[in-house]
Structure 1
Amino acid sequence: MSAEQLAEVSDQFVVAAVLLYVVAMVAFATDLAFGRVRPGRAVAKAAARQPVAVGAAAPPPGADVLPESASVPATPEPPRFAAVAGTAGLVLAWVGWVANLSAIVTRGLAVDRWPWGNMYEFVVAICFAAVSAFLITQVRHDVRFLGGFVMVTAALGLGLASKVFYTAAGPVVPALDSYWIAIHVSAAIIASGLLTLAGVTGILYLVRGDGPSRLPSRADLERVAHRAIVFAFPLWTFAVIAGALWADRAWGRYWGWDPKEVWSFITWVAYAAYLHAKATAGWKGRAATIVQLVAFGCLLFNLIGVNIFIDGLHSYADVD
């Protein structure tokens, strides 16, 4: 195939990935809407306040036993089609993931370089990283409740890339023609995918109330977000350091207060503040979630806003 044909095939794979992610989103939404209802925190608190009869045998440590007088609302068994829809959503998500990967590979073959040299390619890669983070997490833990939200995020991201950020396949500016793009940008993409997963989970934490819900408990949501950030933060740190080394090679200085450099550091500080607050001050719950969502906002502005609205040495968005 010629470079033009490969570029066209890459664009078609992007469209296929969008459609597959959308259908997967509908399947995941069906599973969430009709699936199992989880009890709220109020039930556990009420059970904990129930008196225990004198002389009664104490339950073993860690046992999830409610006193007979505790009132636990009965939840109907979810219909079978909900579980089928959840499984179908996972299958469609994996097929969409393959289409997303194929779009990246064929784009790279078309341009004969690492395929994240402009805003279009970068956003396509971040969507792939976010879906990858979800699917890999699903292998170890049941996080299908995140499926619909991750799928819609990826579909919107790919749609935005195709309609707003699209750049025809071609060479990159000389500053990007370096092996450092495989080191610095790859680390930033993987970290951004994990942090996107954490951001989506944080938003769900704020949405979920204390009553019965089809979403997991707030504690479980917070745990998923925290683990994603713990994995992503060292990668983002490495990306910032690798960017400084690349800047020294390209422009003869490690740090020049370029807007992209400044906002990458601001994002690093925001996530460092979140992890520090969790580890030392024992922050948890709503306060910690708000801090991580502020950090997520810094990440989004750094990835998109800086490239579009602020001129600098990193202005490679190629958006008219």
Structure 2
Amino acid sequence: MTNETLAGYANVSLYSAMAVFTIAMLCHAVYLAGLLPARDRAADRATDRTSERELVSAGAAGTAVDVPSEVAPTPDEDHDVPSRARAAAGIASTTTWLGGMLLLLSVVLRGLSVDRWPLGNMFEFAVMGSMFTSLAYSIWSMKRDLRWLGLFITGPILLVLGMAVRVWYTEAAELLPSLQSYWLVIHVTVAVLATAVFTIGAAATAVYLVKDAFARSGRASVLDRFPDAPALERTAYGLYIVAFPLWTFTLIAGAIWARQAWASYWNWDPKEVWTFVIWVVYAAFLHSRATSGISRQTASYIALAGYACIIVNFAVVNVFFVGQHSYSGL
């Protein structure tokens, strides 16, 4: 099988993954839509239970009331979700797994087609980053119920893959001389993995901030069926705790690689500077999160600012700034 054929199969696998992720995104949306009537039914039952408690209290005070002899136990929250929505969530979970595996196949075939680690340009970085994000989310979903988060993961993945195909696509080719090093496998792979974890953390943070805003305003929404705001914030914080050391390693490994490739640990290259800026912003987030005088909401906004820096680093610096890291192929 020729290298051109392998590259073609890699693209077919990528397009198939995009189709599968489209199905997953729609099914996640159907599941969230199904939570709306479930929320209303749950609210009605809560009102009924409040009325029953008031009747019981009145009876205890000496007022003659009719109290039902048996009060039905509160059903599990998932039972309130329509069967169609639960079925959509199951399909969404399966197709998210399938999409991640198709991306893995695409990455492997792309690497085989060029006889190297497939992280030599923006296109390959975007595909592998999407693969890590989807598989990390799917593996995590095996331990926790994350159906509420699925739409906010598959949607961005589909957007990034669309950009990779339409804007950042680069034909499979050999690496530039400066990239022909084992540090490519170490440095860039860890950077991709850290970005994937930061992405999931940013999605959880955004959901937390929106839910917290609704809770403070007293307005009802579908977010009422999500985990409570403090739990969402702790989930995002735990993800950042994992991602930050990975990004720290990325920064250090990049400096070591720069010493080998360009005879200097630091060259004030735009990519180096923005990698450090991202590190500083997330360090500020972790510091603010541990500072008693700073609210969790403020710290969360700093975390989102860090993710905005990641987007700038990838989508702006790589394209519009010329430097020693100008390898995007655009």
Q: TM-score, normalised by structure 1?
A: 0.86
Match in the other structure for 1:60: none
Q: Give the match's secondary structure for 1:281.
A: coil
| Runs (4+) off by over 6 Å | none
1:291 aligned residue:
302
Please give the alpha-carbon distance, in whole angstroms, between the structure 2 residues aligned to 1:196 and 1:282.
27
Deviations 1:191-225 (A, max 9, x none): 00000111112222233211353333222221221
- AA in 1 matched with 2:256: L
Alignment partners' CA distance in 1, 2:90 and 2:79: 20
Q: CA deviation at 1:302?
A: 1.1
TM-aligned CA deviation for residue 306 of structure 1: 0.7
Deviation of residue 76 (structure 1)? 8.9
| 2:196 aligned residue | 193
1:9–1:106 Cα contact (<8 Å) kept: yes
CA contact (8 A) 2:14 2:103 kept: yes
User: What amino acid is the match of 1:193?
Assistant: A
What is the number of equivalent residue pairs in this alignment?
A: 292
Shift of 1:99: 0.4
1:120 is aligned to 123
Q: Which residue of 1 aligns with 2:110?
A: 107
Residue aligning to 2:80? 77
* Deviation by residue 1:245-264 (Cα, 9 ceiling, x = unmatched): 00000000000110000000
Preserved CA contact (<8 Å) 1:107 1:115: yes
TM-score (norm. length: structure 2): 0.83
1:37·1:75 contact (CA, 8 Å) conserved in 2?
no
Residue matched to 2:252: 241
Instruction: Measure how far apart 1:239 and its partner are.
Output: 0.6
In structure 2, relative to structure 1, the CA distance for the partners of 1:189 and 1:75 (3 Å cut) is closer
CA distance in 2, matches of 1:124, 1:282: 40
Aligned match for 1:223, one of 230, 234, 240: 234
Distance 1:279 1:19, change over 3 A: same
Moved more, 75-84 or 159-168: 75-84
Question: Which residue does 2:95 correspond to in 1?
Answer: 92
Aligned equivalent of 1:267? 278
Return the alpha-carbon distance in structure 1 between the equivalents of residues 107 and 295 of structure 2. Answer: 38
Q: Which runs of 5+ in 1 are unaligned?
A: 48-52, 57-73
Q: Distance in 2 between matches of 1:282 and 1:226?
A: 17
Taking the TM superposition and a 5 Å limit, the aligned residue runs for 1:145-184 are: 145-184=148-187
User: Does the 8 Å contact 1:97/1:128 carry over to 2?
Assistant: yes
Q: Specify the alignment match of 1:144 in structure 2.
A: 147
Matched residue of 1:37: which SS? helix
Asked whether the equivalents of residues 289 and 296 of structure 2 are also in contact (C-alpha less than 8 Å), the reply is no
Partner Cα separation in structure 2 for residue 282 and residue 196 of structure 1: 27
Alignment root-mean-square deviation, CA: 2.4
Identity of aligned residues (%): 39
Counterpart amino acid of 1:151? T
Larger Rg: 2
Q: 1:282: how far off?
A: 6.0
Deviations 1:227-254 (A, max 9, x none): 1111111000001100000000000000
| Range moving further from structure 2, 292-301 or 217-226 | 217-226
